[in-house]
Structure 1
Amino acid sequence: MNRIDTVVHIVDDEEVVRNSLAFLLTSSGFAVRTHETASAFLALAPAIRNGCLITDLRMPDIDGVELLRRLRVAGAMLPAIVITGHGDVQMAVEAMKNGALDFIEKPFSDDVLIDSIGRAVSQAAAQVTDTAMLEATRERIGSLSDREAQVLKGVVAGQPNKTIAFELGISPRTVEVYRAGLMGKMQAKSLPELVRMVVGLDVGA
């Protein structure tokens, strides 16, 4: 996934700063969108599926720390970098505690910002991949029959076929048949791969 696939959202109340950052990042191959207030960005954030954030700390409507806190509460957190002026380090640390990936003190060199944004873009791309894989796994689980889902629950719990068979009132051979079928539907080549795939998901019948 290249840089243009992830949109860098710039939130800053100063138009000159927004335009300067946008020019720098666009020239470096990033896709960019600017927002003049944190409130404007918050309205759009829940719909963003592949993006990262650059935000100033000190803004008149909502400061950078509060912006990150609200994103986190809303479940709309993005890989974020905060830009801080002299004397704002304590606020920057608070931003990190609220999920910021990095903070950059003014004045900063173009290379420092580009490197940091590169890391944020890579993290955003990884999150998109993870989300897509999770959704695909949920769809595959949804394609299982009730009995296959019951067998899957037992398999993931580490139960041997005989125990699963006893609990479900079927033969161990029938469990093997269901197990082979669900492995195919889940597109899992091995038991460890199946377990990794569904760990943390609700696979109960």
Structure 2
Amino acid sequence: MQITNSYILAAGCVFLVLTAVFVIGHAGRRLAERNASDIRIVWYFFSLSLTSTLLIAWWASSVGAIDVTGSFHGTAGSVLHRLLDVMLDLETDLKVLFGLAALVIAPQLLGYLLSSPFGCSTAPILVGPTFRFVFWSVVKFFVVAAGIFLVIAWYGWAHGWNGLDGRKAAGLTLTGLLMLVLAFALLYLYRDLDKAATPEGVRDIVRLRQHAIRFASWASRHTRRPVEVAIPD
């Protein structure tokens, strides 16, 4: 019975790995057609995370900050433990990112709405760059976390860290692959929304855009540039 469960687990892991490879490959090919720089950025940060985490793990093991069981020791170990918690804390990262985005965008939107009845609103600035900053920060989080999980799985399993057997190493590897899948899926949806949208959704977007244009024209009716009249000499 135990052998059967092991085969089922192995088959499930293989299926998940193949699915992850397919999703990453499909999204990557689509992105490479028009947004090749996205692929380079993702793989650069993944390679940077993989290499730096491996070097840090090797250094920490050599100086005793991480012992043979995988436990942290000393001041350096405490710093590394805290750094690891920060790098893998998605909830806190999202709170900080959305808080910064709200601090930049919310006052502009509120000021826009309050100025609208007087007809002197101007379009908010930095909305697009702020959104792109938040989006890419989330993507980079998933990519960096993927590299960290993979190094912990392989390095810890190879050095016999306590509790990190083959099954748990496989679980961490799958977690890292899932992080990469999420990163590529987010990029694919972000760059290919026009093709992914249904015709009904496109019509709704067009209608919303028309309403937004009419409202913007009304809200800024007194901020239009006055027509200059040339006075003859």
Compute the TM-score of the two structures, normalised by the length of structure 2.
0.27
- TM-score (normalizing by structure 1): 0.29
Max Rg structure: 2
- Report the structure, 1 or 2, having the larger strand content: 1
Whichever structure has more helix as a proportion of its residues is 2
Relative contact order (alpha carbons < 8 A, sep ≥ 6): 1 or 2 greater? 2
